[in-house]
Amino acid sequence: MAVGIFDSGLGGLTVLEAVAKRLPDVPLVYLGDSANAPYGVRAPDDIYNLTTAATQRLFDAGCDLVILACNTASAAALRRMQEAWVPPGKRVLGVFVPLIEALTERQWGDNSPPREVATKHVALFATPATVSSRAFQRELAFRAIGVDVEAQACGGVVDAIEDGDMILADALVRSHVDALRRKMPMPDAAILGCTHYPLMAEVFQDALGADVKVFSQANLVAESLADYLGRRPEMVGPGTQSAFLTTGDPVRVSTRATQFLRRQITFQAA
Ligand code: DGL
């Protein structure tokens, strides 16, 4: 039994870490497509082709359920994959819905009609491809009414994180928060809509100020996955081994991952 976790690079490790803590007995196969990161500046067709290839690799590794721990892939490819690509007996889930369920104070999987919620002004920080897809606003509109969303495309942040240049990432985050504040001076909540951004969560919170509630996906996705597997235990596939796979250079990727998670992580070639 194994669940697959996919990201364009290292960001999905924030989700993997939370899932591993919440579901310690479930083997997890992580695939980071570092050779092709960042996805956030790519065209939707390109993101779709890369995401289906990576998901197939995880199916081949014994996963029946794959989590796209990548907002960009969830925004640009997931719906198309679910409609026309995912084979029978397999399942692919994204990371938007658990976040939006939490923001709109719903139980996991509650699909009742949209309603008024306490949060009225939401700042969304995400990659350029996620922002231009408007997938977040679409999913939110299914669940809440009267919420004003201001999205900020955070160019450069993912590259800086993948390169391990945290000083540059810090400066870019602060300038993106400034840009957002010029459009929405007083957000109630901020969404870190890219799985790389929790690695910069303290900088976002510091730049936004203590009054802004910052929603980050990792724990929400882990809780929602635990709930899903409680209802669909058969979706834990036949794989028995945890593994970290990368399309990039395993040595370089292992070094960065070990630095981010502060424990030894060893990647192998995908
Ligand atoms: N971490 C990913 C996300 O959640 C992708 C970032 C990228 O590759 O641009 O969007």
pLDDT band at 238 (very low <50, low <70, confident <90, very high): confident
Give me the pLDDT at residue 214, please: 94
- Across the range 57-63, mean pLDDT stands at 94
Residues 60 and 135 in one domain: no
The answer on 154 and 107 residing in a single domain is yes
Per-residue model confidence as pLDDT tens digits over 105-159:
888 888 889 999 999 999 999 999 999 999 999 999 999 999 999 999 999 999 9
| Same domain as 178, residue 112 | yes
Which percentage of the chain shows pLDDT scores above 90?
87
Q: State both tokens at 155.
A: 């160019």
159 CA to middle of ligand 1, Å? 10
Residues 194 and 238 in one domain: no
- Does residue 1 surpass a pLDDT of 70? no
Residues listed for the chain:
270
Domain boundary among 215, 243, 258: 215
Containing structural domain, residue 177: 97-215
Q: Tell me the pTM.
A: 0.92
Residue 105 is part of a domain; what is its CATH number?
3.40.50.1860
Atom of ligand 1 nearest to the CA of 196: 1
- As a whole number, mean pLDDT of residues 207-233 equals 93
pLDDT at 19 over 90: yes
Provide CB contacts within 8 A for 138, sequence distance 6+.
Answer: none
Residue percentage of the chain with pLDDT more than 70: 99
| CA 249 to chain centroid | 22
For a mutational test of ligand 1's pocket, the pick from 194, 216, 220, 253, i.e. the residue with the most ligand atoms closer than 8 A to its C-beta, is 194
- Residue 124 in contact with ligand 1 by CB distance below 6 A: no
Q: Whose CA is nearest to atom 2 of ligand 1?
A: 70
First to last CA, the chain: 19
* Domain co-membership, 123 together with 202: yes
pLDDT at 243 over 90: yes
211 and 101 co-located in one domain:
yes
Of the pLDDT bands very low, low, confident and very high (cuts 50, 70, 90), residue 18 is very high
Tell me what the pLDDT averaged over the chain comes to.
94
Same domain (yes/no): 208, 180: yes
**How many structural domains is the chain composed of?**
2
Lowest mean pLDDT, pick from 106-110, 122-126, 219-223, 255-259:
106-110
Looking at residue 142, its amino acid is F
Helix axes 250-261, 13-22, angle to 10 degrees: 60
* Bond from prior residue into 38 cis (ω within 30 degrees of 0): yes
Q: From the CA of 72, how far away is ligand 1's center (Å)?
A: 5
User: Is the pLDDT at 249 greater than 80, yes or no?
Assistant: yes
Quick: pLDDT tens for 34-47.
999 999 999 999 99
Residue 170 and residue 107 in one domain: yes
Same-domain status, 145 and 58 = no
Residues 110 and 209 in one domain: yes
